[in-house]
Amino acid sequence: MTANSAGTKPFYPIAELYFYLTADCNLNCRHCWIEPRHLAASASSSCLDPALFVKIIDQAVPLGLNRVKFTGGEPLFHPRIEDLIDVVKKRGLRLTVETNGTLCTREIAEKIASVDNAFVSVSLDAANPEIHEWIRGKKGCFAETLTGIRNLTGAGLHPQIIMTLMKRNPGEMERVVRLAESLKAGSVKFNVLQPTARGERMFAEGQAVDIADLIALGKWVEEDLSKTTILPLYYDQPPAFRSLESMFNPQSGLGCHTCGIFTILGVLAGGSYALCGIGETVPEMVFGNAARDSLRDVWENSPVLNDIRSGLPARLEGVCAECLLKNVCLGSCIAQNYYSRHNLWAPHWYCEEAHRHGLFPETRLRQTETIK
Amino acid sequence: MSESLDTKITANPLIVLREEFDDWALLFNPDTGNTFALNPMGVFIWKILEQGELSSAITRKVCESTQDAPPDAEKQVEDFVLEIVRLGLARKEGERDS
Ligand code: SF4
Ligand code: SF4
């Protein structure tokens, strides 16, 4: 947060827009937190209008925009993806692409690589094709993803491999790291399955890893697995469970996950402005639409966004209210927290679950006696 | 260490130190809710400040405690202590509580 010229009203730049470019996807992943429509076609039929995309970017740059993230659905399923990348490049913006990799042709990889400092992450949930395809819902997609990754490295990029953890695949973690090394990836990130949309159903079906095992896996990644590779490994759990050194050592620290909601806005495939991606499943978290509303107006006057700005982190509840890292973490993910409880100040499920089981680190709580 | 800085510096007794398994620690200000991470050397210095110490002696104790102090160790310690004071986590003798 910075002060505006009058020094009175806080000014929040929109540093980054998350574009959920397509409302459909060529894969059918059983854990997807957006739940796009599965479409067995060569291109999305429900995607962001490129003219609207340009209009949004033009309105966002004066509000501080310097980065865009293309996600989805599957962003590379957008039939005009190369044109959108060109717009980002021409405006000198930073680009992040989150993709399943299956549609990443050599041409698209080169187009992405033509943007300065582009960052790409590719989902790969196992080194075993059968497990990856069980998770991703399409036969043959493992080989397609590997081809996509090779196209990216061939274009000079070193994508991050993202593996989402669920009951079926922790045994694959080490092998994914080895595969990432052989593919010349830049890093590996282990995401925890979130209880959102299809992920929520996986939790209900008992396909999520138990909290005690998740915490143990995080420790193993940080203390053991990371020592076996030159690749940076990120285990995406709230900062309460990370060692201080892993987050704050300027030499080796990897930083920590913190909710970026003060400077991030989501744009859905239909042009709606939303609290990151959850506007797709939670309609009250949609704040307007680019086709009719001014972005400045939405950004500055949305009651929900203003509520978040004035209330975060002080109004966080439950274990987040007691957490010594709440000023850094900001509740980890407000969108996820809202999805879980329909309450912006709800604690993050991971920390809450750990606290309930007596597994929350005592040194990270205001009152150590709250854990017995 | 400059002469002008050689005053006694004492940790704010309200600040809570939470030491962790790897010798890092959190400093927590219950009044403001602010939290700061300390590496093992920061923890060592904080414990000296808890007793109250002249700034020159802090530097000397730090240098004595380590075999391979970097050439700019004195400056690093001085900057760290000044930052701690600036953040209101410790105070120089003669200064009042804010
Ligand atoms: S308890 Fe809340 S604030 Fe603390 S690390 Fe977990 S999610 Fe973040
Ligand atoms: S709400 Fe979640 S997705 Fe949005 S910025 Fe915060 S952490 Fe990221």
DSSP A186-244: SEEEEEEPPSSTHHHHHHHTT-SPPHHHHHHHHHHHHHTGGGG-SS-EEEE--GGGS-H
Q: What pTM, to 2 d.p., does this model score?
A: 0.90
> Separation of A59 CA from ligand 1 center, angstroms?
34
Return left, alpha or beta for B23; rule: phi > 0 is left, psi -120 to 50 is alpha, else beta.
left
* Contact predicate A172/A126, CB 8 Å: yes
pLDDT at residue number B3: 44
Residue A67 dihedral angles phi and psi, to the nearest 5° = -140, 150
Band of residue A35 on the pLDDT scale cut at 50, 70, 90: confident
Shortest alpha-carbon distance between residue B37 and chain A (Å): 7
pLDDT at residue number A184: 98
Mean pLDDT, chain B, integer: 87
Residue B90 dihedral angles phi and psi, to the nearest 5° = -145, 165
What ipTM does this complex have? 0.83
Edge-to-edge strand ranges of the sheet holding A67-71: A233-236, A187-192, A160-165, A119-123, A94-99, A67-71, A16-20, A264-267, A272-274, A286-289
For residue A244, give the nearest of B24, B33, B34 by CB distance. B24
Which residues in A lie closer than 8 A to residue B30 (C-beta atoms)? 366
Distance of alpha carbon A195 from the chain centroid: 14
Q: What tens digit of pLDDT does each residue of A227-274 get?
A: 999 999 999 999 999 999 989 887 776 777 789 999 999 999 999 999
pLDDT at residue number B2: 47
pLDDT at residue number A9: 60
Mutate to test the pocket of ligand 1, among A322, A332, A334 (most ligand atoms within 8 A of CB): A332
Distance CA A331, CA A328 (A): 9
pLDDT surpasses 60 at A3:
no
Per cent of chain A over pLDDT 70 is 96
Residue A21 dihedral angles phi and psi, to the nearest 5° = -65, -30
Q: If you take atom 2 of ligand 1, which residue's CA is the nearest one?
A: A320
Helix (H) or strand (E) holding B77, with range, is: helix B73-86
pLDDT surpasses 80 at A95:
yes
Helix A141-154 and helix A106-113, axial crossing angle in degrees, nearest 10? 40
pLDDT at residue number B98: 47
Residue whose entry in the numeric block shows the structure tokens 């602010």 = B34
